[in-house]
Chain A
Amino acid sequence: MSPGMPGGAESVADVISFDAGSRRVSIEKGVLTPEETLAARFAGALRRAGVGYVIVGGFVAILFGRIRRSEDIDFLLQPVGFSEFEQLYRCLREEGFNPAPRASPAELYEKAMRGASMRFEFGGMATPYVDARFALRRYQRVALDNALTLVLGGRHELKIPPLELQIVYKLWLGSDKDVGDAVFLYTLLKDVLDHGELESLAREFGVDIDRLTGDEGR
């Protein structure tokens, strides 16, 4: 599968621009929302620990301007050995993230290696929280290995999956909320998406991309 990439340097709104060459998407904004700040802090801790990541799930649509809140921010992490994981655990604790329920690095690592998610709270808030898991599955690794860089407000960098994969994956999940996110991203970004890649992914996942335009069953 060839990873998708928005084609050419283009703008889809006066604040969103794509640069295909550097695989960067920029959203110009003055201040970050609390959820974006949380994501940027978690990403900062991962960078300091040298652990690769990509943000997936509903929060990607929210980054692009959806009006909805999410109780969690989903991160896929590059699988690492236990000593690197201990370093990551330290960096996250220093940044103010605590595993919930409380767990030792060894307990968390054992969970992560099974593909289960680890929940991290910040500042004693039950929500929003970070849901992180190792990218152990094929499509998780594709998302991680082909991530785009989203630059918020000119200086906060977050890794997001190829947009075609994100859209098709959301369609595959299939709940009303997920399909809504897929339709939102498609409608906003259709001029910069790789439609061949979108169709190819849709075939692999067995989803009908006509749902993105409301043409299904017509």
Chain B
Amino acid sequence: MRVSREKLEEERKRLREERIRQAVWEAEMVKKLGARWFEMRDRWMVEAYRADTEAMRNPRIREAVLRAVLASARLREEAARRLDPDLYLHPPED
């Protein structure tokens, strides 16, 4: 199936806007709910961590996660260097 460039750009724009709306909503919820927000958020974080710990007992999953971690670290490093090699590697001094 071929997807046109315009369609792809449109979808990326929609996702970007959705992420921004989500970020604004989260900040408003922190302000509005305060302690209750942190309790709910933290409960979710703890459950997610437990699920990860459980999954990581499987050596095949652990191996796959490790491979993904290394690949993503390498990509991030390359992206940062591409973004601005001077600032990232040799930032100008004042």
Contacts and interface: CB of A to CB of B under 8 A. Distances in A.
B75 to A, nearest CB: 11
Interface in A48-75: 64-67, 69, 71-72
Interface residues of A, number: 48
Contacts of B3: none
Contact of B38 (A65, A131, A174, A214): A65
Nearest to A173: B83
A138 B46 CA distance: 36
A89 to B, nearest CB: 20
A12 interface: yes
Contacts of A16: 30, 34
A181 to B, nearest CB: 7
Given A14-B35, A176-B19, A137 B26 contact: no
A209 to B, nearest CB: 14
Interface residues of B, number: 46
Interface in B1-54: 15-16, 19-20, 22-24, 26-35, 37-39, 41-42, 44-46, 48-49, 52-53
**In the complex, which of the residues A66, A177, A185, A186 has the most CB atoms of chain B within 10 Å of its own CB atom?**
A66
Nearest to A174: B83
A127 interface: yes
**B interface: dominant SS:** helix
Contacts of A185: 27
Given A127-B52, A187-B23, A115 B89 contact: yes
A147 interface: no
A187 B23 CA distance: 8
Nearest to B84: A172
**A interface: dominant SS:** mixed
B20 A33 contact: no
Contact of B26 (A12, A15, A65, A179): A65
Contacts of B48: 69
Given A15-B35, A69-B48, A180 B22 contact: yes
A66 B44 CA distance: 12
A184 B49 contact: no
A13 B46 CA distance: 23
A29 B35 contact: yes
Contact of B30 (A30, A33, A65): A65
B49 A34 contact: yes
A65 B15 CA distance: 22
B23 to A, nearest CB: 4
Contacts of A214: 20, 24
Interface of A: 1, 12-16, 27-31, 33-35, 64-67, 69, 71-72, 115, 117, 119, 124-127, 129, 131, 137-139, 172-174, 176-177, 179-181, 183-188, 214
Rank and list the top 4 A-B pairs by shortest CB-CB distance, nearest first.
A14-B34, A187-B27, A188-B27, A138-B91
